[in-house]
Structures are given as structure tokens and as C-alpha cells.
Amino acid sequence: MKSMELFLSILALTLLSCSAENPCCSFPCQNKGICLTGREPGSYTCDCGNSDFYGPHCETPTLTKRLKLFLRPSSETLHNWLVSPSLKWIWDIINNVEFLHNYVLKRIYLLRSNVVDSPALYETEHAYPTIGAFLNKTYYARTLPPVPLECPTPMGVKGPKELPDVNLLVEKFFTRTKFRPEPMGTSVLMAFFAQHFTHMFFKTDYTKGVGYTWGGHGVDVSSIYGKDTEVELWLRSGVDGKLKMQTVNNEEYPMYNKDVPVKMTYAPNVPEHHRFAMGHPFYGLLPGLFLYQTIWMREHNRVCDILKGEHPDWDDERLFQTGKLIILGETLKIVVEDYVQHLANYNIEIKFKPTVLFGEHFQYQNKINAEFNDLYHWHPLMPDEFNISGTIYPMKDFMFHSELVLKHGTASFTESLSRQRAGHMSHHNHGPSTIGVVRDTILHGRKLRYQSLNNYRRRFNLEPYESFEDLTGEKEMAAELEKLYLDIEAVEFYVGILVEKRRVKNLFGSTIVEIGGPFSVKGLMSNPICSRHYWKPSTFGGEVGFNIIKTATLKSLFCNNIKGPCPLVTFRVPDFKEGDVDELNNFRLKTEL
């Protein structure tokens, strides 16, 4: 009797174990196939619908797809074509022949944006498709569903049963011991542009959880005007469409927070006359963000003056709303032609031309993905100290000191940020003030149960890494990572992109480029003002307003809004050549001399 009871107990435990084991934990479905568990324990099916693949695991391409795959160069091959010095003459011809350039530009727009699911299929609250992925704007979207809860390891079936201690990872791989400058000569002015620009759509609502956002899921210039109409009204002057500004040291700056009581985030010890009112709560955190906010607010008022001259009959509301549309257009053009061009570093000139997509099947809607938010944590770009007109400010004396821009003036501050190297977006390069961010980002990825780095590479048409040395490009760190993760298929998403070897002639590794690129292009070109209904002079107050957008550049943005001679305005420090090894000390020495 006892032997029978023992047998039944063992059988029950075995059945329980089998029923708890999710066959989708091994991610058997390829090429965007969706895994569905079956009625019988351990059974599953792969839904290959609309994927151009078929077979038990969606592993076999259709004949048309097979031909496309045969003709399509790998992402590395394409990147090398685009950055190769020996092929620059071909790209110069394309850049100067309009119909060729328009064709190539359209292909770039479409190839990049079509990689992104639109509309989004998944969101951060559920592990399966929901209508909320499209309709509920409080959720971030997500590219891949989470690792099922019942899997034997946090990454599915590969790797350790517990992920490495996050504090150990931070100490071993990410803490800066010596500042490592960005290898392509990127300036700190670019680093602050990235931070100011992206925080109009990366707005995690931590009161609800890491999967929630209070943003509008796109380029909406809310970073300049505020999150809603209430904040916007506080920032507006109510006269001629302009924003409230005050004059200090013969320059215009945002108002003090005491006079415009919008919600801002300042340290308790920041005095009243150093607290300013701006469109984002923490733009008072760093003077570089304050600089950009000041310049954009000046630009809005400059545009309104031009519109008032063209349309003296327009009231305050119409001047403001049309000025806002022009600022949005300027933002998109500068982001595409200055910022994205710098990040891509391609020989082809990347232009902001919404018209090349007219007539194409293109959806003018966007949803910010949680993975894109995490991937964009570029805090290693921040140096440990800042050289402003020869005065060195350690980070602790730079944070929460927006008044430094007033002290040095916008011209000197802009020039100083243009001449200083940003940090390398890589491992062992998080400074003391941002080391907590990398820790939190890794933990957020675990909370959202992101799949492995390799699974994301597969999703974005990249070859998965076959070894830790393949990932890092060296041996020592690879060996340390292998001890902790055991299997290359178990490396976490954010950890992987930080330890990944740098791509040739680029700021980042291939994963950031090939995942970030599609999200960026989709988010930029899906803006409604890029549609044929919006993209015409009347939207922007006539040809004069339309031309403000068409001629906008990073340099003109600053030069039009700084009195006196225009300072140096550049995303790459002057006279830099890839391979230079000058670091912050060398720059400081040259400045002092």
C-alpha cells in the first residue's frame, strides 16, 4: 500500500512538473513566429501568419522571401558600404543627383521603419497581444513578449537559475575608473542634445511602474512647452504667441520657478534665484539641458515675431500654435540632418524629406517601446568634469547649477560644450553620478523580463553572437561574463549592449545601431506634420514659416538666438580625426595654454 502511495506521489509530482513546464521557454519559433502552448503538456504550435515563413518553427522562407533574403546584404555589409572611404565617391554622386538621393533616402526610411511593428502588438502589462498595446497610451509598447514566468531560468532555458548580482555587474563591468572619451570625437554639446531631445518621449511613470509612461509617444516638443495645457499656459506670456522670458545679463532666459510655479525637480538646497521654470521637471538638473531649453524658448519667440510681421491680424493663440508647429518642424529637421547624421556617420547625406514617402503605405502613428527607452540610457557620454571657458567644474559642482549658463553666457557655454569630448558609450565608463542609473536599468529589464540580447538581435535581423569573445571582441571580460552567465544565449539586453564591441566608424556596437535606428526613423517620420495633409506652407503660416523649417540647422538655431558673434556649434570636437587619443586632460591643457 505504501509503495503504491509513493508511486502515485511521484507520478503526481512528475505530472505537476510537466504541466508547469512551458515549452515556449526555449523560444522555438523563428522569424517573428508566435509560440502558443497546446492542450497537451509540453505541446506547442508556432503561428507563422503573415511572416513570409512556414514550417513547424517558421524556419522555411517562402520562395519570394528566399529571393529577398538572398539579395539583401547583411547589416554589417550594408554598414561597411555606407561608411567606407573607398566608396565615398559613389555616395558623393548620389548625394548630388536629386532623384537618386531621393530614392535611396526613401529606401532608408522604409527599410528602417518597417522593422518596427506598427501598430504595436505587445505592451508592458501583458505577455500576449492586447488592444491596449495600441489604445492605452499609459503603457510602453514592447518588441518581444516577456520570458514566461514558469521558465527554468530567467532567460528561458539557458544560463543560470538566478541572474548575476546587479551590484557585482556594476562594480565589475560598468564603474568608471578612468574617463574614456568617445572614439569618434563626439562633443558634450551632442550628449546634452540627446538628453534634451529624447526626454520629450521617454517619460517613465514610476508611480505606476517601469512599464508605464506619462509621455505622448512621439516627437511632440513637450520638452519645450510642458506636458499638458496647464503647464503650457503657465509658460506662455499671453502676448503675440510668445513664451515668458526674463532678461539677465542682457540675455533672455526662462522665468524663475517662484514666478511661474510649474512642477520642477530641484535639490532642496538650490536657492530660489537658481530655480527656473521649464517644460520638463528635471531640466534644471544640468546646465546643458538648461542651455538647450533657453535656446529653444528664444527660438519660439523669434519665430512668433516673424509670424506677427507676416500676419498682423493673427491673435495670440494662432501665433502660438503656428509657432509651435514650426518649432516641431525645426526639431525634426535638426534631429534628422544634424543629430542622426552624426550618429550614423554615413557617407550618404541623411535629409529630412517627408515628401519622399508620399504615395507609400506608411502609418503616421507611433508607440514608444520599453526596449528603446532602456537602450537609450547613454549616461557614459557624461564626463566627470566640465571645462567652461577655462574653469573646471566637477560633476558635483555642475549638477543643479543652471546659473552657470547665466554666469558664463550662452555663447561661451555653447562653445565650451562644443570643444569638450563626451564619454564612450561602453563598459567601464559610468561616472559616480550615473552609476545608479545603470543599476536601475538592468533591474528594470529584469522586472519586465526582457528576452536575451541574442533574441533581440534575431528579431532585428542581426546574427546572434556565438560566444562571449564574439560579443566583446576581447578575451578577459568575455571570460568574466561567461562565468556569470554560463551561456551566450543568457546575456541580458542592456548588459549586452554595454559590453558589445564597437562597430567600425560608429559610436556604438551594432545592436544599438540596428535596434535604435528603426525606432528612431519610425518615430521621426511618422510625425503627423510629415504627412501630405500637414506638410505644406499653410500649416506653418505660409512660405516664410515653411522656409524656417526647411533651412533649420543646429548652427542656425544657436546663431539666431545668441547676440554677437556666433560661437562654435558642433556635435564633433574641432580638428578631430578617428584614432586621436587626446582625453580631457589634453583638452584642459590646450585651453589653459
Task: Write the DSSP symbol of residue 369.
Answer: B
Amino acid present at 478 = A
Closest alpha carbon to 81 in 504, 576, 447, 407: 504
The CA distance from 320 to 181, in Å, is 41
Strand (E) or helix (H) holding 61: strand 60-61
Contact criterion met (CB below 8 Å) for 444 and 210: yes
> What residues are annotated to the active site?
199, 376
The distance from CA 515 to its chain's CA centroid, rounded to whole angstroms, is 10
Closest alpha carbon to 148 in 449, 447, 369: 449
Amino acid present at 13 = L
The CA distance from 376 to 512, in Å, is 8
Task: Write the DSSP symbol of residue 505.
Answer: T
Looking only at the bridges linking them, the beta strands covering 141-142 and 122-123 are antiparallel
- 438-476 burial code (b ≥16 CB/10 A, e <16): bbebbebbbebbbbbbbbbbbbbebeebeebbebbeeee
Contact criterion met (CB below 8 Å) for 179 and 383: yes
Amino acid present at 70 = F
Alpha-helical segments (H) within 199-286 = 222-225, 229-235
The SS3 of residue 91 is helix
Sign of CA dihedral 425, 428, 431, 433: positive
Contact criterion met (CB below 8 Å) for 168 and 313: no
Contact criterion met (CB below 8 Å) for 290 and 402: yes
Q: What residues does 44 pair with on adjacent strands?
A: 37
